[in-house]
C-alpha cells in the first residue's frame, strides 16, 4: 500500500501536535530571549519557514502544511511575537526580491531565531497613504543617507535589521521615487523611542533617522522600485495576519462577556445584546474558516481578507458596547487586581487600534469596493504629480520635511 | 465541517439558476405575484417534476432526491435570489421538515412523497394571533375525537401559502396534549381568507376551522416543530443570503453607471463604503448558511445553535442591505417599476416570519445558556 | 396704555386660532376643489401670503406672525396640500425675481386659490445633481422650444403652471446654461403621467415635454441665470418644509408604536427599543423647537435645516426597526381593514422616500460637512466643463438626450 | 420653554471658558489627573471663590448664587468640554442636589453652604457592588443608633470623588427604613481605597464603614435621591454634550489639515459624513440638555422625563462621537500624547456612571408607561 497525501498530512499534523505540546512554554514570559530560544527550537524541529524554498533555508512545503501549522498553533500561546514580522514579512520579501548575497546573509540567522527584524513603513505624515512617505534617502557616494521619522514600529527596540522605505527621487510621482533598504537598527544616527499608546502601554516605537548611511548592497529590489517591494511585503502581511492567529486572552470575546454576565447578573436586554454579539463573533469565525477552506482548495483569498479585518474591528466595537450593558458602572471603576475588569479596560482601550492599524476601516471598505466589487475609483488628485509638489500629512509648507515635524501618526 | 460547495452542488445551483433565468425573470415574478394563486404553477411543475428538486432533503424511500440540506439551501438561495413567489418555503420546507421529524406512518409518508414531487402543496397552520410560523403560543385551537377521526375548532394566522395549499398541517391541543393534524383543503367547516401582506411576493392566509374533520399524525408535535424550525431557519437564511447577494450585485451594477456631479456614484465613498458593508454582510451570511446547512446534514447536535446564529445574523442584514439598495438607487429605487422595493419588502417579511428579532435572539441566548 | 408688540401678536394668535377652529374642515377629503375653496377662505381672512409684501398681494407681516401661523396650524390637518408648492416656493420666487407683469398675472390667482403651481426641476438623469438636467430649451424665434422629461413632480396632474428649469446653453458649464421658465401645464406637447411609487400609490408624476413653446415673457429671472433662480426657490422650500409641518397620522411615531405594543404585548427588549425610539423622536422635536426659537430670535437657520431632515429620515428607519420588534409576524401579514397594520406598512414603505426625496441623506451630510463644518469640498470634476462634454445620469453616449431615455429617477 | 441661552447665560459661559482656557488646558488637565488628589485645588478655589459658580443652583439663603440649573448646565458643559478632572459632579451636583431635596435642617444647610463655596468637598456614597451612582440597590449597609448618633457598617462602591471628599453622604438602612447620613472624612472605622478606573480624569473609590459614626439627615432618602438623580442626569448630559461638541471641533479641525492621497481627509465622504453625524448628534444633544435644564428650573413635573430622555440619548452619542474622534485622527489619535483618548474614556465613564444604557432606557420606559 502506498502512502497517500492525506496520510502524509495526517502524520505531519500528529507529529507537529506532539512537538508543540512538548515545546511551547506553558506560561510564556513574552521576553525576547525566550522568543529567540523558541524560534531556534522551531528551526531545529523543521518548523521554521515551512513554505520557504529549501534553497533559502526553508522547508519547501506547501500551503496545506502551513495551514495545519496555523490550525495546531492556534491552541497555543506561542512566544514568537518578535519574529512575526521577520518570518512573516521581511523574510518572504527577501526570498522574493533579495540578491543571493542578501539571502545568504539574512535568511539563516532569521530562521534560526538569531536576528530580529522590523518594518519601517509608516510615518507621521504617511498613515493610510503609505506612499506619501517623506523619509529622504539622499545619494552620497555609492550609497545613500537616510533622514526622517518612522512610527508605529513594532520590534524596533530589539530588532537587528529593518526593512525601510525611503524617498530616493522626489521629482518623480509619489509611488515612483521610493526605494526599500535594509537598515542596521544599530547604525549611527538611528534612534528608537517607545511610543505610549492610549492603553498606556508602549508596544510600538518611533524611529528617528538622522543621517543614517546605507550602501548599494542594502537595496532590497531595485532603486525607485520600492513601492513594488512594499506591495510584495504587504501581500505577505495579509497572509501572516490571517494565517497565524493565536490564542489570545481578551476581555471582549463573547465567552469573557458571558462570564461577566454570570458574575454581575444579566437582564433580558443584556442577554439580547450578548446573543447578538455571539452571532456576530460566530459568523466571523465561520467566514475565516471558510476562507481557509477555500485557500486550501486553491482559491487565493485576495482582497477578501479585508472583510475579516473590517468585521473583526467592528465586532470589537460591538463588544465594547455589549460590555457596558453587562458591566455598567463596574466598567467605570473596579478594584485593583480585578483582572477581568482590567482586561475589559484593555480591550476597550485597544479597540481603536483594531479599527486603525494595518489599514483603517475606511481603507478596508475602499479595498472591498475597488478591488472586489470593481467600483470606480475616486478622482486621484496626486497621481502623476512630482512628489515635491504635493502636500502630505499636516505639513504647512512644501519645503517642510518629516524630520522637522512632530510625530503625527497615520489616518 | 465543509463550508465550500462541491462541484455537484455548484452544478445544481447552475441548473436552478438557468431554469429561473428562463422562467422567473422580473416580468414573470410580477405576473405570478399578481395572479390569483400568487405563484406560477408551471414553474412549480418544472421544479417538482422536470428538475425534481422539491424533495432534495427527502430520503429516496419517501420519494425524495436523498440529497440533503446543503443542496436544499442551494435551491432556497436561487429561489430567494430571483424573489420567486412560490409555496416552496411553506410546502417543501416547513411542512416537509415537520413531517420528516415525525415517525414513519402512512399518512405522513404519502404526503411527503406528494410534496417532494410538487404534486400537492401543503401549508403549516401552527401560528395564532400573528406569532412566528412555528410558534403555536398558548394555542386556543382544540381537537376532539369524532368517531374514527378528529374534528378541529380554532383559528390560525398567519399561515404561509395557506390559501393555495391542498392540505394543511394543523397544530391543535387535544385532551392528551398538543398534536399535529392533516386537514384537506376541501374539508367541511374550513375557511381561508387572504391576509394583506407587506410582501407582494408572499401569500399568507387566515384559516378558520369550525368542526373541521382532520387526521391526527402520530408523534411529538413540539419536538417535530422544533426540529423543523431549525431546518426552516436554515432554508430561510439561505434565501435571505441570496437576496443580500442579488441586492448587492444590482446596487453595484447601478453605482457603476449612474453618474452624478460628473462621476459614477459608486466612486463616492458614501456609496462605495455602503456597498462594501453589503459585501461584508454577504460573505458572513454565506458562511453562516454554509455551516448551518452542513450541520443539518452532518452534525444535527450542532444544528440548533448554528440555525439560531444564522437566523439572528442574517435577517437584519438582509433588510439593511435592501434598505441600502433602495437608497443608492435614489428615486428610481423608490418606484414600483424597479425591483428594489421587492427586495426591501421580502427582506422585511423574511426578517419577521419566524418571530421578532428579539425572540430569535432570546432563543439563541437560551441555547448559549446565558 | 399703548399696545405692545407682544399684545398685538397675542391678539393675532387668538384671532387666528378662532378662525382656524371655525374654518378648517373636520374630515378633509383631500381633493383639489376643497383645497381651492380653503385657500380662497384663507385669502379672504387675510392669512394668504402672510410675509409677502403688500404690493404683491400679501399681508406684509413678519416672521413672528408666520411662526404663529405655523404653530397654530400644526394642530390641524389643513387641506392646503395642492398649494404648498405655489405658496411656499413658486410664489415667493416670483415675488423675488418676477417682472411686474409676472407678479400681476400670477400672484393674485395663486393667493386666492384659483391657480395651482408645480415645480419641474428633477429629471431621470438629474436627482441629487439637479444642475445636471438635460431638458433642452432650444431658441426659436423670440421664444424657446422645450424637450425633455421631468420626474417626481407633485401636483402636476392638477397644476395650471409650472416653474421649469431647462438648458438654454449646453456649451456653458452645467450651472451656467440653465434658465427658469413659467410653463403652462396645459400647453401642447406636455404630457403628465402618474408615477407609481413603491407604496403602490402615485402622489408624483412624470412630465414629458415634446416641443413645448415658451415665450420671452415666461423667463423667470434672467436667461442662463436659472441656477440662481433655483437656489432662490430651494431656499424657500427649506423654510416651507420646516415651517409648515402639519399634523399627519403615521404608523411610525412613538405614540402609534406604543399603542401597537399595548395591543400585541411588549417584552423588555421591545420596551428598550421603544424607549430609545422615544428619546430619538423627542430630541428631534426639541431640536426643531430650538431652531424655531432661534429663528424667531433672529438667527437664520441656514443649513442647519439639513440636520432636521437627516435626523427625521434616520428616525423613521429606527421606527421601522422598532416596529418589527413589537409586531413580529403581525407586520408581515394582517387582516384586511386593520388600519393600524396598514399604516405601519405605509410608513415602512414610504420611509425610503424620507431618506431620498428633497436631498438624500448623503446630500444632507455633505451640506452639513461643507457648509456648517467648513470641511474641504471633494474634487469637483465637472466644474468648468461645457455641459455637452459631460456624462450625466445613466446615459451611455454624449449625444443622448433625456427625451430618449427611460425615466431613471434621482440618486 | 426656553431652548436658547440668554445673553447673561452666554456671558457666564464665556467667563468660565476664559478661566478654563487659562487654567485647564491639556497640560494642566494632565498634571491634575496624575496628581495625588486627582484634581487641581487651585482651580477648585477659583471656581468656588473667584468665580463663585459652584453653587449656581443653590438658593442665595443657603450661600448659593440663586441662579438655576440652566446656569449650572452651562458650567457643567464648560468643565466637560475641557475634560477638567474635579470633584464638581460629585460635590456640587450629586451631593448638593441631594441635600437640596431634603428638608431644611442645620446639618444640611451648613454643608450646602460649604459645598457651594467650594470650601468643602463631598461625595455621594450610595452605590454598592458597582451599581449606578444613585442606585442603592438591595443595600447591605446598615445604620444603628449609638447614643445620640448613629454608627454605620457596610461598603460603598463606586463612590465618585470618594477619596478626596471631606465629607460623605452615605445611604444606609435603619430599622425604620433607608436614610442618608453625613460621615466626616476623619471618622473612625472609615477606610477609603482608590479604585482603578477606565477614565484617567475621574477618581472613584471604595468606602468601607466599620462602626463609623454618622449624623442622620432628616427626610425621605429615596425621594431625595430620585430628585437629585434627575438633576444629576441633566448636569451629566450637559457635560457629555459639551464633550461631543469639543471632540467634533477638534476632529473637524484635524480633518481640514491632515492630507492623505493628495487632499485633506475631511474632503473624503467617509470622514465628512462621519463629522456630519457628529454635528447632528451634537445639535440634538444640545436641544435635549437645553430643555431638561429649563424643565429643572421651570417645570419640575416635566423634569423626570426630560432628564431620562437626555440621559438615554446623549450618553451613547458621546461615546460614538469620541470613537469617531479617535478613528478620524488615525494613529495620532491612538497615542497617549493626543487628547482623543481622554474624550473616549470620559465618554465611556459618563455613559455608564448612572447605570447601564439598558437600565436608563428601562427607567424611561417606566416613565412612558410602556
DSSP D75-109: HHHHHHHTT--SSIIIIIIIIHHHHHTSPP-HHHH
- Tens-digit pLDDT string for chain B (370 aa): 999 999 999 999 999 999 999 999 999 999 999 999 999 999 999 999 999 999 999 999 999 999 999 999 999 999 999 999 999 999 999 999 999 999 999 999 999 999 999 999 999 999 999 899 999 999 999 999 999 999 999 999 999 999 999 999 999 999 999 999 999 999 999 999 999 999 999 999 999 999 999 999 999 999 999 999 999 999 999 999 999 999 999 999 999 999 999 999 999 999 999 999 999 999 999 999 999 999 999 999 999 999 999 999 999 999 999 999 999 999 999 999 999 999 999 999 999 999 999 999 999 999 999 9
pLDDT per residue as tens digits for the range A344-356: 999 999 999 999 9
Residue C243 pLDDT > 70: no
In the predicted structure, residue A405 carries a pLDDT above the cut 60: no
Alpha-carbon distances, residue D169 vs C16, D51, D130 (angstroms): 55, 26, 17
Give C280's contacts in chain D (Cβ within 8 Å). 313
The answer to whether residues B234 and B296 touch, using CB atoms and an 8 Å cutoff, is yes
Give B157's contacts (C-beta < 8 A, 6+ positions apart): B127, B128, B129, B130, B195, B204, B205, B206, B207, C333, C335
CATH code for residues B7-116: 1.10.540.10
Query: How many CB atoms neighbour CB C383 within 10 A?
Result: 12
Sign of the alpha-carbon torsion through D93, D95, D98, D99: negative
Contact (CB, 8 A) for B222 and B204: no
pLDDT of residue B220: 98
Contacting residues of C for A267, CB less than 8 Å apart: 268
Res A407: pLDDT: 36
Position C240 scores a pLDDT of: 54
Q: How far is CA C270 from CA C265, C274, D370, in A?
A: 9, 6, 10
Question: In sequence order, what are the residues at sequence separation of 6 or more whose Cβ sits closer than 8 angstroms to the Cβ of residue D53?
Answer: D12, D16, D47, D65, D71, D75
Round to whole Å and give the CA distance between B302 and B297. Answer: 10
Q: CA-CA distance, D281 to C307, in Å (whole number)?
A: 9
Q: How far is the C-alpha of C256 from the C-alpha of C245, rounded, in Å?
A: 18
Considering the domain delimited by A248-372, tell me its CATH architecture: Up-down Bundle (1.20)
Q: How far is A273 from chain C (nearest CA, A)?
A: 10
Nearest alpha-carbon partner for D249 in D81, D20, D41:
D81
- The yes-or-no verdict on residue A219 having pLDDT over 80 is yes
| C231 membership: H or E segment, kind and range | helix C226-243
Cβ atoms within 10 Å of C136's Cβ, excluding its own:
18
**Is there a contact between D336 and A341 if contact means CB atoms under 8 Å apart?**
no
**pLDDT on residue C301:** 79
Question: How close does chain A come to C287, measured CA to CA in Å?
Answer: 26
Q: Which residue has the higher pLDDT, A1 or C282?
A: C282
Cα distance between residue D47 and residue C115, in whole Å: 64
Percent of chain D residues topping a pLDDT of 70: 100
Q: Which three cell numbers stand for residue C381?
A: 470634476
The angle, 0 to 180 degrees and rounded to 10, between the axes of the packed helices C305-327 and B357-368 is 60
Partner residue facing C365 (CB), from D273, D285, D308: D273
- For the segment D255-263, the average pLDDT, to the nearest whole number, is 96
Neighbours of chain B (3+ CB pairs under 8 A): A, C, D
CB contacts of A348 in chain D (<8 Å) are 198, 348
In chain A the first and final C-alpha atoms are separated, in Å, by: 59
Q: Could you tell me the CATH superfamily of domain A3-111?
A: Acyl-CoA dehydrogenase/oxidase, N-terminal domain (1.10.540.10)
Would you state the pLDDT for residue C249? 57
| Angstroms from C248 CA to nearest CA on chain B | 21
What is the number of other CB atoms lying within 10 angstroms of the CB of residue D254? 24
CB contact under 8 A, C307 and D284: yes
Closest-CA residue to D310 (of D244, D212, D221): D244
Residues in Cβ contact with B155 at an 8 Å cutoff, skipping those fewer than 6 apart: B128, B140, B141, B206, B207, B208, B209
Average pLDDT of the residues in D208-226: 98
Question: Region D328-356: what's the mean pLDDT?
Answer: 97
Catalytic residues of A: 237
> Residue-wise over D37-56: b if at least 16 C-beta within 10 A, else e?
bbbbeebbebbbeebbbbbb
pLDDT of residue D107: 97
**Backbone angles phi and psi of C163, in degrees to 5:** -95, 115
Q: Give which of C3, C7, C96, C6 is closest to C58, Cα–Cα.
A: C96
Q: What is the pLDDT of residue B24?
A: 98
| ipTM topping 0.85 | yes
- pLDDT of C162 > 80? The answer is yes
Residue A366 C-alpha cell reads as: 475602499
Cβ separation D261–A132 shorter than 8 A? yes
User: From CA B343, how far away is CA A311, in angstroms rounded?
Assistant: 24
Mean pLDDT check: name the lowest of B65-79, C86-100, C296-310.
C296-310
Q: Which whole number is the average pLDDT over A245-267?
A: 81
Mean pLDDT of chain A: 90
pLDDT of residue C239: 58
- Chain B: give the shortest CA distance to residue A156, in Å: 34
pLDDT of residue A241: 46
Same fold, B7-116 and B223-367: no
Give the closest-approach CA distance of A268 to chain C in angstroms.
6
CATH superfamily, domain B122-219, is Butyryl-CoA Dehydrogenase, subunit A, domain 2 (2.40.110.10)
Q: Tell me which residue has cell 500528529.
A: A14
Show residues of chain C in contact with B329, CB under 8 Å. 409, 411
Average pLDDT of span D160-174: 98
Q: Which three cell numbers mark A29? A: 514570559
Determine whether the interchain pair D365/C280 forms a contact, defined as Cβ–Cβ distance below 8 Å.
no
**Mutating which of B237, B265, B370 best tests the A interface, going by the most A Cβ atoms within 10 A?**
B370
pLDDT-derived band of residue A238, with 50, 70 and 90 as boundaries?
low
Q: What is the mean pLDDT of chain D?
A: 97
Q: Between the ranges A30-34, A230-234, C212-216, where is the mean pLDDT highest?
A: C212-216
C-alpha A341/C-alpha D197 separation (Å) is 9
For chain C, where do the domains classified as CATH 1.20.140.10 start and end? 248-372
Q: Which residue from C409, D210, A236 is spatially nearest to B326, judged by alpha carbons?
A: C409
Question: C-alpha A163: how far from its chain's center?
Answer: 14
Dihedral over alpha carbons C69, C70, C76, C81 (to 10 degrees): 110
* Lowest mean pLDDT across A277-281, A402-406, D88-92: A402-406
C124-134 residue pLDDT tens: 999 999 999 99
Q: Is the pLDDT of residue A403 over 60?
A: no
* Dihedrals phi, psi of C192, to nearest 5 degrees: -110, 130
Task: State how far the Cα of C352 lies from the Cα of C316, in Å rounded to an integer.
Answer: 9
| CA proximity to D233, closest of D243, D241, D244 | D241
pLDDT digits (tens, 9 = 90+) for C255-265: 999 999 988 88
Extract the runs of DSSP E, i.e. beta strands, from chain D. Answer: 122-125, 142-146, 149-160, 167-174, 177-184, 190-194, 196-197, 204-217, 259-260, 263-264
Calpha distance B282→B279 (Å, rounded): 5
DSSP H or E run through B152:
strand B149-160
Cα torsion D101, D103, D104, D110 to 10°: value is: -50
Q: Is A246's pLDDT higher than 60?
A: no
Contact B296, B228 (CB under 8 A): no
Residue D27 confidence (pLDDT): 98
- Whether the CB of B261 is below 8 Å from some CB of chain D: the reply is no
pLDDT confidence bin for C43, thresholds 50/70/90 = very high
Residue of B nearest to D270 (CA): B269
Among the CATH numbers 1.20.140.10, 3.20.20.70, 1.10.1370.30, 3.90.76.10, which is that of D223-367?
1.20.140.10
- With contacts defined as CB-CB under 8 Å, which chain B residues touch D268? 269
- Give pLDDT, residue C403: 39
What's the confidence (pLDDT) of residue C189? Answer: 98
Alpha helices in C252-382 (DSSP H): 254-264, 268-296, 305-327, 339-356, 361-367
Interval C240-266 mean pLDDT: 74
C-alpha cell at C203: 402622489
Give the other-Cβ count within 10 Å of B353's Cβ.
26
In chain C, where does the domain assigned CATH 1.10.540.10 lie?
Answer: 3-111
pTM summary value: 0.95
Q: Nearest-CA residue of chain A relative to B271?
A: A369
Tell whether the model's pLDDT for residue D90 goes beyond 80: yes
Residue whose cell numbers read 470650601: D119
Query: pLDDT for A92-104, tens place per residue?
Result: 999 999 999 999 9
- Name the pLDDT band for A249 (thresholds 50, 70, 90): low
For D120, the 3-state DSSP assignment is coil
Q: By percentage, how much of chain C surpasses pLDDT 70?
A: 92
State the chains in contact with D (3 or more Cβ–Cβ pairs under 8 Å). A, B, C
C353 and B334 within 8 Å at the Cβ level: the answer is yes
Contacts 24+ apart (CB under 8 A), A215-219: A215/A142, A215/A143, A216/A142, A216/A143, A217/A99, A217/A101, A217/A102, A218/A143, A218/A181, A218/A182, A218/A183, A219/A179, A219/A180, A219/A181
Q: Is the dihedral of CA A168, A174, A176, A182 positive or negative?
A: positive
Where is C66: in which H helix or E strand? helix C63-73
**Average pLDDT of the residues of chain C:** 90
Q: What is the mean pLDDT of residues A256-285?
A: 94
- For chain D, what are the domain ranges? 7-116, 122-219, 223-367
Please identify every residue of C annotated as catalytic.
Answer: 237
pLDDT higher than 90, residue C393: no
**Chain A residues close to D337, C-beta within 8 Å:** 196
With CB atoms and an 8 Å threshold, state whether C357 touches B331.
yes
Residues of chain C with CATH 2.40.110.10: 117-231
| Per-residue pLDDT, C345 | 96
Residue of C202, C332, C392 to mutate, testing the B interface (most B Cβ within 10 Å of its Cβ)? C332
Mean pLDDT of C188-195: 98
CATH architecture of residue range(s) C117-231: Beta Barrel (2.40)
Closest CA to D273 of A212, B272, C271, A380: B272
Amino acid at each position: 500500500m502506498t502512502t497517500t497525501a492525506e496520510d502524509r498530512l495526517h502524520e505531519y499534523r500528529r507529529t507537529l501536535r506532539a512537538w508543540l505540546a512538548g515545546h511551547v512554554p506553558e506560561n510564556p514570559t513574552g521576553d525576547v530571549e525566550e522568543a529567540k530560544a523558541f524560534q531556534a527550537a522551531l528551526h531545529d524541529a523543521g518548523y521554521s519557514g515551512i513554505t520557504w524554498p529549501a534553497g533559502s533555508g526553508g522547508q519547501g512545503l506547501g500551503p496545506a502544511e502551513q495551514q495545519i501549522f496555523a490550525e495546531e498553533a492556534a491552541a497555543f500561546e506561542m512566544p514568537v511575537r518578535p519574529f512575526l514580522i521577520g518570518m512573516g514579512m521581511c523574510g518572504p520579501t527577501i526570498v522574493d526580491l533579495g540578491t543571493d548575497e542578501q539571502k545568504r546573509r539574512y535568511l539563516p540567522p532569521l530562521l534560526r531565531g538569531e536576528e530580529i527584524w522590523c518594518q519601517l513603513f509608516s510615518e507621521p505624515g504617511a498613515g493610510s497613504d503609505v506612499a506619501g512617505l517623506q523619509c529622504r534617502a539622499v545619494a552620497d557616494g555609492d550609497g545613500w543617507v537616510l533622514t526622517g521619522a518612522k512610527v508605529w514600529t513594532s520590534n524596533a527596540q530589539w530588532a537587528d535589521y529593518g526593512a525601510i522605505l525611503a524617498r530616493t527621487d522626489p521629482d518623480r510621482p509619489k509611488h515612483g521615487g521610493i526605494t526599500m533598504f535594509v537598515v542596521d537598527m544599530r547604525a549611527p544616527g538611528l534612534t528608537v523611542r517607545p511610543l505610549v499608546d492610549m492603553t498606556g502601554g508602549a508596544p510600538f516605537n518611533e524611529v528617528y533617522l538622522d543621517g543614517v548611511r546605507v550602501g548599494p548592497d542594502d537595496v532590497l529590489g531595485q532603486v525607485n522600485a520600492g513601492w513594488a517591494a512594499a506591495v510584495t511585503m504587504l501581500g505577505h502581511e495579509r497572509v501572516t495576519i490571517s494565517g497565524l492567529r493565536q490564542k489570545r486572552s481578551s476581555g471582549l470575546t463573547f465567552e469573557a462577556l458571558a462570564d461577566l454576565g454570570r458574575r454581575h447578573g444579566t437582564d433580558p436586554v443584556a442577554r439580547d445584546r450578548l446573543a447578538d454579539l455571539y452571532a456576530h463573533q460566530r459568523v466571523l469565525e465561520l467566514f475565516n474558516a471558510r476562507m481557509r477552506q477555500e485557500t486550501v482548495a486553491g482559491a487565493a483569498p485576495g482582497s477578501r481578507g479585508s472583510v475579516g479585518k473590517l468585521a473583526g474591528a467592528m465586532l470589537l466595537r460591538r463588544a465594547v458596547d455589549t460590555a457596558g450593558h453587562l458591566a455598567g458602572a463596574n466598567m467605570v471603576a473596579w478594584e485593583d487586581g480585578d483582572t477581568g475588569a482590567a482586561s475589559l479596560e484593555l480591550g476597550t482601550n485597544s479597540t481603536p487600534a483594531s479599527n486603525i492599524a494595518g489599514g483603517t476601516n475606511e481603507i478596508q471598505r475602499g479595498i472591498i469596493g475597488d478591488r472586489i466589487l470593481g467600483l470606480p475609483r475616486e478622482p486621484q488628485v496626486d497621481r502623476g504629480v512630482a512628489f515635491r509638489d504635493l502636500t502630505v500629512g499636516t505639513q504647512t509648507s512644501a519645503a517642510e520635511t518629516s524630520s522637522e515635524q512632530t510625530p503625527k501618526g497615520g489616518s | 465541517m465543509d463550508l465550500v460547495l462541491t462541484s455537484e452542488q455548484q452544478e445544481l445551483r447552475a441548473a436552478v439558476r438557468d431554469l429561473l433565468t428562463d422562467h422567473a425573470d422580473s416580468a414573470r415574478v410580477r405576473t405570478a405575484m399578481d395572479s390569483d394563486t400568487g405563484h406560477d404553477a408551471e414553474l412549480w411543475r418544472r421544479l417538482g417534476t422536470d428538475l425534481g428538486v422539491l424533495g432534495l432533503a427527502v430520503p429516496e424511500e419517501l420519494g425524495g432526491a436523498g440529497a440533503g440540506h446543503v443542496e436544499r439551501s442551494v435551491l432556497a438561495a436561487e429561489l430567494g435570489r430571483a424573489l420567486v413567489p412560490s409555496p416552496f418555503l411553506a410546502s417543501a420546507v416547513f411542512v416537509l421538515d415537520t413531517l420528516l421529524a415525525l415517525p414513519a406512518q402512512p399518512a405522513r409518508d404519502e404526503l411527503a412523497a406528494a410534496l417532494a414531487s410538487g404534486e400537492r402543496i401543503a401549508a403549516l397552520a401552527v401560528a395564532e394571533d400573528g406569532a412566528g410560523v412555528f410558534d403555536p403560543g398558548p394555542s386556543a385551537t382544540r381537537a376532539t375525537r369524532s368517531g374514527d377521526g378528529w374534528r378541529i375548532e380554532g383559528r390560525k394566522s398567519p399561515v404561509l401559502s395557506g390559501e393555495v395549499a391542498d392540505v394543511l398541517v394543523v397544530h391543535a391541543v387535544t385532551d392528551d396534549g398538543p398534536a399535529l393534524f392533516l386537514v384537506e383543503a376541501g374539508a367541511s367547516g374550513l375557511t381561508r381568507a387572504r391576509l394583506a401582506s407587506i410582501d407582494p411576493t408572499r401569500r399568507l392566509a387566515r384559516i378558520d376551522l369550525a368542526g373541521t374533520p382532520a387526521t391526527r399524525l402520530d408523534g411529538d408535535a413540539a419536538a417535530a416543530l422544533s426540529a423543523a424550525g431549525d431546518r426552516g431557519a436554515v432554508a430561510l437564511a439561505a434565501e435571505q443570503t441570496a437576496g443580500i447577494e442579488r441586492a448587492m450585485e444590482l446596487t453595484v451594477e447601478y453605482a457603476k453607471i449612474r453618474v452624478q456631479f460628473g462621476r459614477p456614484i459608486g466612486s463616492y465613498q458614501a456609496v462605495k463604503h455602503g456597498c462594501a458593508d453589503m459585501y461584508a454582510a454577504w460573505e458572513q451570511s454565506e458562511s453562516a448558511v454554509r455551516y448551518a446547512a452542513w450541520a443539518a446534514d452532518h452534525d444535527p447536535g450542532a444544528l440548533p445553535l448554528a440555525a439560531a446564529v444564522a437566523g439572528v445574523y442574517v435577517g437584519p442584514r438582509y433588510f439593511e442591505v435592501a434598505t441600502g439598495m433602495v437608497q443608492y438607487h435614489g428615486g428610481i429605487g423608490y418606484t414600483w417599476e424597479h425591483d428594489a422595493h421587492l427586495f426591501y419588502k421580502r427582506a422585511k417579511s423574511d426578517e419577521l416570519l419566524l418571530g421578532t428579532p428579539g425572540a430569535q435572539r432570546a432563543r439563541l441566548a437560551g441555547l448559549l445558556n446565558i
